[in-house]
Amino acid sequence: MDEDEVARVSRTPEEVFRDFRGRRAGMIKALTTDVDKFYQQCDPEKENLCLYGFPNETWEVNLPAEEVPPELPEPALGINFARDGMAEKDWLSLVAVHSDAWLLAVAFYFGARFGFDKESRRQLHNMINNLPTIYEVVTGTVKQQSREKNPNGTSKSNKSSSKKAEPQKPSKMPPSKEEDGSRVEDAEENEEHENTLCGACGDNYANDEFWICCDMCEKWFHGKCVRITPARAEHIKQYKCPSCSNNKRGRA
């Protein structure tokens, strides 16, 4: 965290949001698809460690900045100390909450430093608020909220028939209804799919991207986020996302 990093952010709400979104994506990776690596780096025997997210969608576990006060707000200290003292799921959720707080602090630090007026601050807040929090992505709260918004949805029964989604074929994500289904039903299904969020990065469903559903937790993922290609998916009988695979193995 240095002066150069601040200089790379332009003085507009859109650029600050872009910085926020990149950092957020990196931290989500640490807590989902890269969770094994993240877990190992958070050794309780080490000093106070922090989880950093960067604008280029990468993450890092490191010691806090030495300068006082730091150039940017610092993440929560000592995330590694609680690792072995609580259930892994609860620990990851706790880190996620603190990560959300840090992202907001950094974004509105930029807003204050760049002199955002009331309307610019509102614009930045609205853009951030349209994304699910890291906590919601990590805990699966996003999916639960989506189901509550679509009580008549049929995603669960549809997903049980096919877990893969081919690019350029949105009817397979989730699988389409029978060919003689009504247009009203299809419209409701498409609306529900638009509310589907990737369990790794938290971004919305797009019908031109390959998606795959976990057979265990029933969360959907961009193929690129979990490193699954359409060709590889064709040979997977039962797909387990990184989180479900890790939970099954368990840790001492």
- pLDDT tens per residue, range 57-71: 999 999 998 887 888
Last residue of a domain, one of 139, 168, 185: 139
Question: Which contiguous run of DSSP H or E holds residue 164?
Answer: strand 164-165
Residue 165 placed within a domain: no
What local confidence, expressed as pLDDT, does residue 3 receive?
Answer: 53
What's the rounded Cα separation, in Å, for the pair 157 and 65? 50
Residue 170 placed within a domain: no
Last residue of a domain, one of 123, 139, 155: 139
The domain containing residue 201 runs over which residues?
A: 196-251
Last residue of a domain, one of 98, 119, 139: 139
Contacts of 202 (CB under 8 A, 6+ apart): 24, 25, 28, 131, 132, 134, 136, 137, 142
Cβ(157)–Cβ(189) under 8 Å?
no
The verdict on 108 and 205 lying in the same domain is no
Cβ(134)–Cβ(27) under 8 Å?
yes
Least confident segment among 49-58, 67-76, 128-137: 67-76
What is the pLDDT confidence band of residue 244, given thresholds at 50, 70 and 90?
A: confident
Residue 15 placed within a domain: yes
pLDDT tens across 158-206, in order?
333 345 554 433 334 445 445 545 454 555 555 555 667 888 888 777 7
Residue 214 placed within a domain: yes
- Residue 79 carries which DSSP code? T
Residue 155 placed within a domain: no
Whole-model pTM: value is 0.63
Helix or strand or coil: residue 181? coil
Q: Which amino acid is at 198?
A: C
What local confidence, expressed as pLDDT, does residue 160 receive?
Answer: 37
* Pair of tokens at residue 83: 């690792």
| Residue 31 Ramachandran class (φ > 0 left, ψ -120 to 50 alpha, else beta) | alpha
For residue 209, what is the domain's CATH number? 3.30.40.10
**Burial status of residue 130 (CB atoms within 10 A of its CB: 0-12, 13-18, 19 or more):** exposed
Cβ(233)–Cβ(239) under 8 Å?
yes
The verdict on 122 and 208 lying in the same domain is no
Q: Is the pLDDT assigned to residue 248 strictly greater than 60?
A: no
Residue 40 placed within a domain: yes
Cβ(102)–Cβ(73) under 8 Å?
yes
The verdict on 110 and 206 lying in the same domain is no
